[in-house]
Amino acid sequence: MTIELIVIGTSLGGFSALKLILSKIQSTFLVPIAIVQHRHKESQTTLASYLQPLIPLPIREVEDKDEIALERSILLRLTIIIG
Protein backbone atom coordinates (compact mmCIF):
# COMPACT_ATOMS: atom_id res chain seq x y z
CA MET A 1 0.00 0.00 0.00
CA THR A 2 1.39 3.38 -1.03
CA ILE A 3 0.46 6.47 0.96
CA GLU A 4 -0.12 9.38 -1.46
CA LEU A 5 -1.42 12.07 0.90
CA ILE A 6 -1.72 12.61 4.65
CA VAL A 7 -4.71 14.69 5.79
CA ILE A 8 -4.91 16.31 9.23
CA GLY A 9 -7.96 18.17 10.53
CA THR A 10 -7.89 20.24 13.71
CA SER A 11 -10.09 22.66 15.56
CA LEU A 12 -8.88 25.76 17.38
CA GLY A 13 -7.84 23.60 20.34
CA GLY A 14 -5.73 21.27 18.18
CA PHE A 15 -3.01 23.78 17.33
CA SER A 16 -0.58 22.47 19.99
CA ALA A 17 -0.93 18.90 18.72
CA LEU A 18 -0.49 20.10 15.13
CA LYS A 19 2.74 21.91 16.07
CA LEU A 20 4.03 18.78 17.80
CA ILE A 21 3.31 16.56 14.78
CA LEU A 22 4.85 18.96 12.26
CA SER A 23 7.96 19.57 14.38
CA LYS A 24 8.85 15.86 13.99
CA ILE A 25 8.83 15.91 10.17
CA GLN A 26 12.24 15.89 8.50
CA SER A 27 13.31 17.28 5.12
CA THR A 28 13.47 13.73 3.72
CA PHE A 29 9.72 13.19 4.30
CA LEU A 30 8.23 12.43 0.89
CA VAL A 31 4.45 12.40 1.38
CA PRO A 32 2.51 15.67 1.00
CA ILE A 33 0.32 16.74 3.93
CA ALA A 34 -3.01 18.57 3.70
CA ILE A 35 -4.20 20.35 6.84
CA VAL A 36 -7.64 21.82 7.56
CA GLN A 37 -7.60 24.15 10.57
CA HIS A 38 -10.55 26.03 12.08
CA ARG A 39 -9.72 29.60 13.03
CA HIS A 40 -11.52 32.49 14.62
CA LYS A 41 -12.80 35.10 12.15
CA GLU A 42 -10.60 37.79 13.76
CA SER A 43 -7.33 35.90 13.13
CA GLN A 44 -4.90 38.32 11.53
CA THR A 45 -1.79 36.17 11.09
CA THR A 46 -1.56 33.34 8.59
CA LEU A 47 -1.18 29.89 10.04
CA ALA A 48 1.70 29.24 7.66
CA SER A 49 3.76 31.98 9.34
CA TYR A 50 3.43 30.14 12.67
CA LEU A 51 4.13 26.69 11.28
CA GLN A 52 6.87 27.31 8.70
CA PRO A 53 9.68 27.70 11.29
CA LEU A 54 8.83 24.21 12.61
CA ILE A 55 9.27 22.29 9.38
CA PRO A 56 11.79 22.16 6.52
CA LEU A 57 9.11 21.63 3.83
CA PRO A 58 7.28 24.49 2.11
CA ILE A 59 3.85 25.41 3.44
CA ARG A 60 1.22 26.85 1.10
CA GLU A 61 -2.21 28.15 2.08
CA VAL A 62 -4.78 27.12 -0.51
CA GLU A 63 -8.17 28.58 -1.38
CA ASP A 64 -11.39 26.90 -2.39
CA LYS A 65 -11.06 25.07 -5.71
CA ASP A 66 -7.25 25.39 -5.84
CA GLU A 67 -5.65 22.42 -7.52
CA ILE A 68 -3.75 20.22 -5.09
CA ALA A 69 -0.53 19.01 -6.66
CA LEU A 70 0.82 15.98 -4.86
CA GLU A 71 4.28 17.30 -4.15
CA ARG A 72 6.48 17.40 -1.09
CA SER A 73 4.76 20.23 0.70
CA ILE A 74 2.16 21.08 3.28
CA LEU A 75 -1.14 22.51 2.09
CA LEU A 76 -3.31 24.50 4.48
CA ARG A 77 -7.03 25.11 4.06
CA LEU A 78 -8.43 27.36 6.75
CA THR A 79 -12.05 27.39 7.83
CA ILE A 80 -13.10 30.57 9.57
CA ILE A 81 -15.30 30.23 12.65
CA ILE A 82 -17.85 33.02 12.98
CA GLY A 83 -18.39 34.27 16.51
How is the chain split into domains, by residue range?
Answer: 6-81
pLDDT in tens, 2-24: 878 888 888 777 888 888 988 88
**CA dist list (Å): 27 to 20, 36, 81:** 16, 22, 32
Mean pLDDT on 44-52: 77
How far apart CA 72 and CA 59 sit, in angstroms, is 10
pTM: 0.72
